Structure formats: C-alpha cells, structure tokens
Amino acid sequence: MMRRTWSFLLAILFAAPFAALAQTPAFHVLAFYSTKVEPDHVDFATGAIPFFQKMAEKDHFTFEATTDWTRMNAENLKKYELVMFLDDPPSAPAVRAAFEKYMDGGGGWLGFHISGYIDHRSEWPWFADFMGTLFHSNNWPPLPAKLKVDDPANPVVKGIPPSYMAPANEWYMWLPSPRDTPGIKVLLTLDPSNYPLGFKDTLTHGDVPVVWTNTKYRMIYANMGHGTKIFDSPVQNRLFENMVLWLGRKDRAAK
C-alpha cells in the first residue's frame, strides 16, 4: 500500500510540470477583420481564421478573431503578444492611436494584403513610415506568381525553397520600393519572370517585394490575402507558420 502511494506521488510530481508546460500557451494572438469590405478580402479572412486556429492548436498558442475593432485598446492589448489585420487597416482615430502605442511598446503585428494599404502619406503618416512605402498599383485578375526568397538565412523563410509558385493573389506594387527604405528588410519578392503579370491591370517591370519587416518594430507585412486560394500551397502555409512563430515569441531575437 505504502509503495503504491509513493508511486502515485512520484507520478504526480514528475507529470505535473510537463502537463503545465503542455497547457501553457506560448503566446496569444488576436486577429482583427472586417466583413463590410471587398468580398474577395472577406473570403481570405474567412479562410484564415480556421487556418490559424488549427495552427494554434498544433503550435500551442491561442488564437482569437474579432470584427470588434474597439478591442484594439491599451487594456485589452496587454493580453496579446501578436495582433493580425486580416482584411482591413483601422480607420477610427482611437483605434489607430492604440495600435501605434502597442507597436511602439514592442507589440507584434502580422498584416495581410489590403491591411497594409495606404496610398497617401497624409492619410496616416505613422502607418506610412511603419509600412515604409505607399501603394502604387496592382495586377488584375488575381494570378499565381513565382516568388523568390531574398534572405535564405532569415528564420521566417526557414524550410522555404529559394523560389516557389504562390497561389493566385492580387499583387501590389509599392513606391518607393520598400527595399530602398532604411530599416526595411525584404524577405520575399515577385520574381521578374512573372512579367507581364495581369490582363486588365498589368505589372510590367520593377522591384515588387511581397513580404517584408520594418526592423524598428516586431512586424511582418505579407501581400498575400485576396480570395480563396491563398492557403492552397503547403510551402506558403509553412511560411505563414514561420511568420506567426517568429512574431509571437518575444525572445526570437536571441535565437
């Protein structure tokens, strides 16, 4: 009887720390999106939510999605290491101010496609500096495109081949190229072999980065995010996972 009790106690002593480790989320993610925007962008958000939910279960972080942008406030943001914008940038001044403060204070951001859209600096100067560029033009209709990795040593592109075919997307061109903005590090770029890209609207030449980080912040902008095909590529899905894990873990700089 005594032996059984000891075994039981020992089992609890050894199991408890591991159980606690398994149950403690590595970080917490809050994704913002809107439903009254371009339907193709809502489609992306609708696909992104279960995609990241599944990733959260696999990689042990928490993931919530909301259309309530008032949750972008200082008190609520304390609970999250990473916020995502799936299909919209914020427009309300209070929400923008809370986001600026969160990012200036070391918060994490992953923004997709239209959520990085700004075409005049005067609309939101802080965001223009944060993005490091302004929207210039796009291809139409959405098309697959070959992307090339700029910095193979970067942890965000770990396991990603030097180039891959990304699923159909509406690709944005930016001016100036974010590559020319101090502090911006480009991670993936549209391969020039895609040109001319588009039928109604065509990208014909030039440097078109599609994923980059502003090294002054814990952020990644990814141009993917139009329509229902974005999550069709296992390679690109791995890239998204790398992005989330890199941004979510605040200690990533030490790795």
Kindly indicate which of the ranges 73-81, 146-154, 225-233, 234-242 contains the residues binding Zn ion, using the contact rule CB under 5 A: 225-233
Task: Tell whether omega for the bond before 141 is within 30 degrees of 0, i.e. cis.
Answer: yes
Q: How many residues does the chain have?
A: 255
For Zn ion, the closer CB: 81 or 170: 170
Kindly indicate which of the ranges 147-155, 182-190, 208-216, 222-230 contains the residues binding Zn ion, using the contact rule CB under 5 A: 222-230
The token pair that represents 153 in the structure block = 């040593």
Asked if 48 touches Zn ion (CB under 5 A), the answer is no
Q: Which of 185, 218, 226, 249 binds Zn ion (CB under 5 A)?
A: 226
Bridge partners (DSSP) of residue 175 are: 134
Kindly indicate which of the ranges 15-23, 164-172, 213-221, 238-246 contains the residues binding Zn ion, using the contact rule CB under 5 A: 164-172
C-alpha span between 86 and 49 (Å, rounded): 9
Q: Which of 166, 170, 177, 188 binds Zn ion (CB under 5 A)?
A: 170
C-alpha span between 181 and 43 (Å, rounded): 32
For Zn ion, the closer CB: 56 or 210: 210
- To Zn ion, the closest distance from the beta carbon of 141 in angstroms equals 10
C-alpha span between 65 and 183 (Å, rounded): 30
- At CA 70, angle to CA 66 and CA 73, rounded to 5? 110
Task: Tell whether omega for the bond before 196 is within 30 degrees of 0, i.e. cis.
Answer: yes
Kindly indicate which of the ranges 92-100, 149-157, 226-234, 247-255 contains the residues binding Zn ion, using the contact rule CB under 5 A: 226-234
For Zn ion, the closer CB: 97 or 175: 175
H or E element at residue 157 = none
State the number of binding residues for Zn ion (CB under 5 A).
2
Asked if 111 touches Zn ion (CB under 5 A), the answer is no
* Residues at the contact surface with Zn ion, assessed by CB under 5 A: 170, 226
